Amino acid sequence: MAVNEKSLLRKEVRVCISSLTPAEIQERSSAICHDIKAHLAVCGAKTVAMFSPLHDEPQIWPLIEELAKVMLVVLPRVEGDNMQFYPYSGELSSGAYGIMEPVHGNPVMPGEIDVMIVPGVAFTNKGARMGRGKGFYDRYLSQSDFCGLKLGVCFKEQLVGELPLEEHDVKMDAVLYR
């Protein structure tokens, strides 16, 4: 898929998501959080990487707060062209692209993460993922020492029949959607 085709698909998906009401976003986000908790319980995760949701992503803040009481929750911080994950302590600041990022702490190494909850613009049921186009997650998940479970999360409007996979794209182990 050419760059302009990906750009068009991103716009189409954003239009679909923008039609969701706040109540629908809240209800579906809660259901997605429930599904994430079920997966975490089954795999016995001790360290989970999550994300600071943007307005068009599943709103997982309540789950982040809940899980941080019983396990290590790490959130991404963009550093130049790369991303590192830092422990969530409740103190955040607006970072790259206006995304809330951890302020303090030392980065958690990729091999220490048991499960990574991954946002995206579009997914397929088979685990293909299209992000926002900067490649942060693909670069991070491609590191040789990352061996955690990769769970994509999205609204059902973000599911598409197929996405072309490029050599650098990392597939998800599962995609959770509502």
Phi, psi for residue 67 in degrees, rounded to 5:
-70, -35
What is the pLDDT at residue 4?
Answer: 73
Residue type, 81: D
Query: Which token pair is 108?
Result: 């958690």
Taking only the tens place, the pLDDT of each residue in 128-146 is 999 988 899 999 999 999 9
Taking only the tens place, the pLDDT of each residue in 57-82 is 999 999 999 999 999 999 999 999 99
DSSP assignments along 86-130, one per residue: EE--S-EEE-GGG-EEE-SS-PBPGGG-SEEEE--SEE-TTS-EE
pTM higher than the cut 0.75: yes
Q: Mean per-residue pLDDT for 156-175?
A: 91
Domain that holds residue 36: 3-177
* CATH number of the domain to which 173 belongs: 3.40.50.10420
What is the pLDDT at residue 64?
Answer: 98
Over 90: is that where the pLDDT of 110 sits?
A: yes
Domains held by the chain: number: 1
